[in-house]
Structure 1
Amino acid sequence: MVQARYKQVVDRFAADIRAGRMPPGTRLPTHRRLAASEGLALMTASRVYAELGAMGLVSGETGRGTFVRETALPRGHGLIGQQAVAADMVDLSFNYPSLPGQAELLRASLREIASGGDLEALLRYQPHGGRPHERAAVARHLAASGLNAAGEQVLLVDGAQHGLAITVMALLQAGDVVAVDALSYPGFKLLAEAHRLELVALPPAGQGPDPDALDALCKRRKVKAIYTMPTLHNPLGWVMSASRRHDLVAVARRHGLLIIEDAAYAFLVENAPAPLASLAPEITVYVSGFSKSVATGLRVGFVVAPTASKARLERAIRATTWNTPGLMTAIACGWLADGTVARLEATKRQDARERQQLAARILGKIKRVCHPASYFVWLPLGEDMRADQVAMALLRDRISVSTAEPYATSTQVPHAIRLALGSVEMPRLRSALARVAEVIGEIDPYGK
């Protein structure tokens, strides 16, 4: 009888939410009030909200209560690969920065490859980690950013996401505990879910994770690795200081941790402190690629691996893609050799700075968290604002943004939105940012 009553309450709430009788943002009664009004045990009332949450209809927020979700907004909105953005949509949810003239660069490169060289070699299987001269080319490129690695330590992969995937496959096992930032890259969250890793969020401490909190966590739990983005964190844009990097490495060495260093956006920061992989090469896997610095369609990435891990990583490459496509690698390495990659990186750094300056002018007094040369902005929302309401209002205007949900690794998801600045031309970006400012002002005119 109690079970039937519990199901009736769930069904009634679900029907009211779906019919719009309980609009998005409605605060539901506390668990105790629900139990009293419906004649349920407190535990059963909690179960009602848990089931509604599993259906995607409500969200519980520590210290605030339980609220009706914006059900018209796709669950996981802004999560990479979760949904396609329509052609008429202004995409501020995902970065694929491109510069005028890049298509001509590709056309010229293809002509050059077609007119000379050993084309037959590009049609054959390649070594799993790439050909020696290609690995050496990437090693020379990395030396400019302060990471001195031998070509033998470099493994070529099909983009940075593939680099992260083979690292997880080769060096971690189901059930392993991995320390991460409380807000982190959604792609790594997906990998953790697929490989059944346990992610434990570390609180921030200034510009990066708190080494003391990591040390305390390692004393309580058997932590296997830490995943971090020390140079241009996504989504918060901070750059970890040199002293913080040394402290983090010291904790990792003390507890025998593997460090997974994600440097996908590191090219945007000039004169950054030395990579973690240069401070602790024996325990750090460094992962990056050319998707952001060159083009997202150029699926060439690279992993700098500790000598002891190289064979296992190569086996993971073989198990997934066998090798990076020879043509893609030839294009990327050719652009490394003739300076095209360096020129594109320099131009994109300037492009990102200009877009950040535009965002600062248009968003005005709205609180922003960002780096002056990054392609994204984090907007923490006011206490009474809800990220799903903001995202849905913008979606109605054909503007796609990300909420904090895809980035959150802790149970408490902050109300914030992330704006990707690198995917649309400047005039459309200007008008889209103006609409973002208007929507936030309309929902909370005093929250600036």
Structure 2
Amino acid sequence: MPQPRYKHLVDRLAADIRAGRLRPGTRLPTHRDLAAREGLALVTASRVYSELQDMGLVSGETGRGTFVKEALPRGQGIDLHAWSADTVDLSFNYPSTPGQTDLLRAALRQLAAAGDLESLLRYQPHGGREHERATVAAHLRSRGLTATAEMTLLVSGAQHGLTTSAMALLEPGDVVAVDTLTYPGFKLAAEANRLELAPIPAAGHGPDLDTLAALCKRRRVRAVYTMPTLHNPLGWVMSAARRRELVAIAREHGLIIIEDGAYAFLAEDAPPPLASLAPETTVYVSSLSKSVATGLRVGFVCAPSAWVPKLERAIRATVWNTPAIMTAVACGWMEDGTVARLEGEKRRDAAMRQSLVADILGRLKRVGHPSSYFVWLPLAQELRADEIAMALIRERVSVSTALPFSTSAHVPHAVRLAIGSVDLVTLRRSLEVVARVITDRTY
């Protein structure tokens, strides 16, 4: 069957972009001008640009036009990381403090001498052994949750907790309200479970709850995914009043609240978690990835008791149980105070790094929290995020653009810096590069 004529135009433009004949940042003709030039219907011209956008070659921006994109080496940023050994990674956070390796070495020695070592080689209960669930529940109570062992399950990190929550509690096609900028991992979990994400714009330190309420009246929203304490990427901490308002909306419309607390440990004196305000309708998900170590892969889910069997089945369907050795180490550190100590050290470390950011990037517009491990940099109107990200890659610094975080058609031009994964000397040098690259291109 012959290929439609517009497909030849798509192929030709794609080839020109990939060959560099159309350079990154080039503004392409308007849809109307392209239609007139190529003898196409306007709707067909729009389809040409839509297919190029789906291929990741162009971006359409309301009020500005259609532009050739900078070709970032690894797709669109969800899997963005340092491309080579000499590239500084400011795209992912894996914070560590001195002495953590020695802590692990000592914990493994202690575990090796324990009497129940053989039991760790066997299958474990899907949600964790009873004493481990009790240990995690006590840890969650220190974060302000009303948690019991019966409500608590162990999972392989917060990402696994989010995925199993979506699998267990939602159906394909369900509508989930999310922030217009949100954690990319939940976008992946929603995609895998065929959920529809309904973006809610920000309004100060939290989502626009009037928009959420209006959405719930207009559509059958099944759940809301939210990060009320240390939002990623914007760093907000929702006030107690806004949390109560969100809970009221959830109760009125029968919403499941999926509360992500992965970074919550960094914010001291934050209001109580949503799970403490509405335990009957909230699933709370967090982990030790940021507070202890990303490689530990131990997370936890706290949910109403009625939901626990469904969550246990989802855990069985994905990993059966968390790695028993890592779970034993993690629970030992919760019990002996190591986790609490590491959380305190990382709060101080994050605050010190934010001070460094303020010192070096003080002239640039920033959005964030004074004790978080990331900072959001909205770019001036004339700048393009993909161009800035590619320029930084050439300077051996990798960052994230807004694209992996965005859930709406409008993707803001901004970059997120993850500042928790390199030593302070390297961080200072890298921030100086970021400041220079952005400042030199601002006019």
Q: Same fold (TM over 0.5)?
A: yes
Partner of 1:385, secondary structure, is coil
In the other structure, the counterpart of 1:396 is 394
CA distance in structure 2 between the aligned counterparts of 1:75 and 1:380, rounded to whole angstroms: 21
In the other structure, the counterpart of 2:381 is 383
CA distance in structure 2 between the aligned counterparts of 1:294 and 1:286, rounded to whole angstroms: 19
Equivalent position to 1:239, from 221, 225, 237? 237
User: 1:208-234: CA deviations, max 9, x gaps?
Assistant: 112211111011111100000000000
Opposite residue 7 of structure 2, the aligned amino acid is K
Opposite residue 88 of structure 1, the aligned amino acid is D
In the other structure, the counterpart of 2:50 is 50
Equivalent position to 1:329, from 323, 327, 330? 327
In the other structure, the counterpart of 1:180 is 178
CA distance in structure 1 between the aligned counterparts of 2:116 and 2:5, rounded to whole angstroms: 74
Partner of 1:51, secondary structure, is helix
With over 3 angstroms needed to count, the CA separation of the structure-2 counterparts of 1:318 and 1:45, relative to structure 1, is same
User: Number of paired residues?
Assistant: 442
TM-superposed deviation, 1:50: 1.3
* Equivalent runs, 1:272-283 vs 2, <5 Å: 272-283=270-281
CA distance in structure 2 between the aligned counterparts of 1:11 and 1:129, rounded to whole angstroms: 51
In the other structure, the counterpart of 2:192 is 194
* Equivalent runs, 1:300-339 vs 2, <5 Å: 300-339=298-337
Name whichever of 322-331 and 297-306 sits farther off. 322-331
Name whichever of 215-224 and 54-63 sits farther off. 54-63
* Equivalent runs, 1:404-415 vs 2, <5 Å: 404-415=402-413
Name whichever of 219-228 and 113-122 sits farther off. 113-122
With over 3 angstroms needed to count, the CA separation of the structure-2 counterparts of 1:298 and 1:4, relative to structure 1, is closer
- TM-score of the pair, normalised by structure 2: 0.97
Equivalent position to 1:357, from 352, 355, 358? 355
CA distance in structure 2 between the aligned counterparts of 1:299 and 1:56, rounded to whole angstroms: 32
User: 1:239-269: CA deviations, max 9, x gaps?
Assistant: 0110000000000000000000000000001
TM-superposed deviation, 1:87: 2.0
Opposite residue 245 of structure 1, the aligned amino acid is R
In the other structure, the counterpart of 2:268 is 270
In the other structure, the counterpart of 1:6 is 6
CA distance in structure 1 between the aligned counterparts of 2:332 and 2:275, rounded to whole angstroms: 25
Opposite residue 398 of structure 2, the aligned amino acid is S
In the other structure, the counterpart of 2:27 is 27
Contact 2:82 / 2:89 at 8 angstroms: preserved in 1? no
Name whichever of 183-192 and 149-158 sits farther off. 149-158
Partner of 1:288, secondary structure, is strand
* Equivalent runs, 1:41-440 vs 2, <5 Å: 41-77=41-77, 79=78, 81=79, 85-440=83-438
CA distance in structure 1 between the aligned counterparts of 2:52 and 2:126, rounded to whole angstroms: 47
Identity of aligned residues (%): 69
TM-superposed deviation, 1:4: 5.2
CA distance in structure 1 between the aligned counterparts of 2:330 and 2:432, rounded to whole angstroms: 37
CA distance in structure 2 between the aligned counterparts of 1:149 and 1:5, rounded to whole angstroms: 62
In the other structure, the counterpart of 1:39 is 39
Partner of 2:294, secondary structure, is coil
TM-superposed deviation, 1:162: 0.8
TM-superposed deviation, 1:42: 0.9
Contact 1:404 / 1:414 at 8 angstroms: preserved in 2? yes
TM-superposed deviation, 1:5: 4.2
CA distance in structure 1 between the aligned counterparts of 2:83 and 2:338, rounded to whole angstroms: 30
TM-superposed deviation, 1:84: 6.0
Partner of 2:368, secondary structure, is coil
CA distance in structure 1 between the aligned counterparts of 2:341 and 2:72, rounded to whole angstroms: 43
Partner of 2:415, secondary structure, is strand
Partner of 1:297, secondary structure, is helix
Name whichever of 411-420 and 132-141 sits farther off. 132-141
Partner of 2:376, secondary structure, is strand
Name whichever of 144-153 and 197-206 sits farther off. 144-153
Partner of 2:295, secondary structure, is coil
- TM-score of the pair, normalised by structure 1: 0.96
Partner of 1:261, secondary structure, is strand
CA distance in structure 2 between the aligned counterparts of 1:4 and 1:353, rounded to whole angstroms: 57
Opposite residue 53 of structure 2, the aligned amino acid is G
User: 1:297-353: CA deviations, max 9, x gaps?
Assistant: 101100001111011101111111111121111101111111110110000000000
CA distance in structure 2 between the aligned counterparts of 1:107 and 1:34, rounded to whole angstroms: 64
Partner of 1:379, secondary structure, is strand
In the other structure, the counterpart of 1:15 is 15
Contact 1:35 / 1:45 at 8 angstroms: preserved in 2? yes
RMSD: 1.4
CA distance in structure 1 between the aligned counterparts of 2:318 and 2:83, rounded to whole angstroms: 28
Name whichever of 155-164 and 28-37 sits farther off. 28-37
4+ long deviations beyond 3 Å: 2-5, 81-85
Structure 1 unaligned residues grouped into runs of 5+? none
CA distance in structure 2 between the aligned counterparts of 1:164 and 1:428, rounded to whole angstroms: 33
CA distance in structure 1 between the aligned counterparts of 2:412 and 2:73, rounded to whole angstroms: 17
Contact 1:179 / 1:214 at 8 angstroms: preserved in 2? yes
User: 1:345-390: CA deviations, max 9, x gaps?
Assistant: 0000000000001011111210000100000000000101000000
CA distance in structure 2 between the aligned counterparts of 1:85 and 1:332, rounded to whole angstroms: 31
Contact 1:154 / 1:303 at 8 angstroms: preserved in 2? yes
Contact 2:389 / 2:398 at 8 angstroms: preserved in 1? yes
Structure 2 unaligned residues grouped into runs of 5+? none
CA distance in structure 2 between the aligned counterparts of 1:426 and 1:6, rounded to whole angstroms: 52
User: 1:153-197: CA deviations, max 9, x gaps?
Assistant: 110111111111110110011100000000000000001111110
